[in-house]
Chain A
């Protein structure tokens, strides 16, 4: 798990924790749990929501550390300006990653699905004990925590499809040179996430 402390953000959202889990066995029950947690009421609901208070991102659709960091950064900016498009800063991360304004589509595509086996988990919050956060992550996800090395997990054709890059001159020009193309795609999607708030 990697933790980042941002001096420029207010205390309640100054820290970002990012972790990558692979060989995840409980994606389906976890997704069901997230859906249930959102509708639970009362004290029990609050406790359950706190337990799963993370952004769960399908690692297939993340191209690099900077890609997900950018989404987190833009989400926190929106949060501090009370300009969230979605209900929480964590769902905003998924919205930021998705190239359209459709929230349902963002959650469906970039959130975990029943078949997900690799998940990027992120938490935005106050400065806190890293081991506690990591423990919380391990409690909700049955998988192996590994270093944040994303590009081998990326589904590049899905990325190209969702971000509509297939017809872009820059991609077409590069033809079959995969390494070069991936570097370019990573740059494109990272820039896209950064400017999503002013997309058009």
Chain B
């Protein structure tokens, strides 16, 4: 009998494949069968399909099955725990919808939006090949997308700095901060009506596959350094933008900034890896 997760994935749409996992778009809870129930109208939240993103850490045949099972299990668990910790800390991340650690499947809320990388005109993740049909559009696209979300580049930088600061205050290290791992989406109407800030766009951090918990200044500084490098390589001439990320981060992280900022200068000089000399 095929396992639950595999049957679920068979009917899902593959969105992206990486070395570690495949990502699918699917629905989790089918539409309810209300047939014999009399007059109550089908409620709005149940009538339209609610999508989830399924991240399946598939079987790695180059690993011993026992090792594979335990690695997969602990990675799915780690990612789920990091997301939960972020949710509690008020960091914008997708909600968790299902976890099947034995099969390596993590189901999270589907984010209807666009990655910051694309919004800033950094192109789609990886492949340039996909561009050829709309290569000419590439120059016009960024302003369009910013307009869709009704933000300017500076707004996005402030949102990035804010989320990372909240995350680091909760001692969560993302481990893979890039503009591809940040999504913009229009807030759900329910939230925007009562929202304190008047922006109707929010920024979410995604992909906590490499995340871990640490209060070390070193780890936070390296996390920022990784993002700085990612910015420099995907978005040319983005130094002034990134400066705004750092400025916001500094404001939002308060007293922690002094130590992290000092450490960041140190990391910039020596790179991500600590010197192993001595």
Contacts and interface: CB of A to CB of B under 8 A. Distances in A.
Are A and B interaction partners? yes
Interface of A: 1-10, 65-66, 69-70, 73-74, 76-77, 80-81, 83, 130-131, 134, 147-149, 165, 168-170, 173, 177, 179-180, 183, 187-188, 190-192, 194-195, 197-200
Interface in B1-39: 1, 3-5, 7-8, 11, 28-30, 32-37
A200 B81 contact: yes
Contact of A195 (B1, B3, B43, B81): B81
A149 B4 contact: no
20 contacts: A2-B33, A7-B30, A9-B4, A65-B45, A65-B46, A69-B29, A73-B28, A73-B98, A170-B89, A177-B196, A190-B97, A191-B87, A192-B84, A195-B81, A195-B83, A195-B84, A195-B96, A197-B99, A198-B73, A198-B101
Contact of B96 (A177, A183, A191): A191
A73 B77 contact: no
Given A10-B1, A70-B97, A130-B33, A147 B76 contact: no
B88 interface: yes
A8 B195 contact: no
Contacts of B77: 198
Nearest to B193: A179
A169 B40 CA distance: 39
Contacts of B30: 4-7
Contacts of B170: 169
Interface in B93-128: 95-102, 107
A67 to B, nearest CB: 11
Contacts of A195: 80-81, 83-84, 96, 99
A9 B166 CA distance: 39
B90 interface: yes
Contact of B4 (A80, A130, A165): A80
Given A4-B32, A7-B11, A170 B88 contact: yes
Contact of B98 (A70, A83, A170): A70
A1 B36 CA distance: 9
A198 B81 CA distance: 8
A7 to B, nearest CB: 7
A1 B87 contact: no
A2 B34 contact: yes
Given A2-B34, A131-B36, A194 B45 contact: no
B4 to A, nearest CB: 5
A1 B33 CA distance: 9
B4 A177 contact: no
Given A70-B98, A76-B4, 7 more contacts: A80-B3, A83-B102, A169-B166, A180-B195, A191-B95, A194-B98, A195-B96
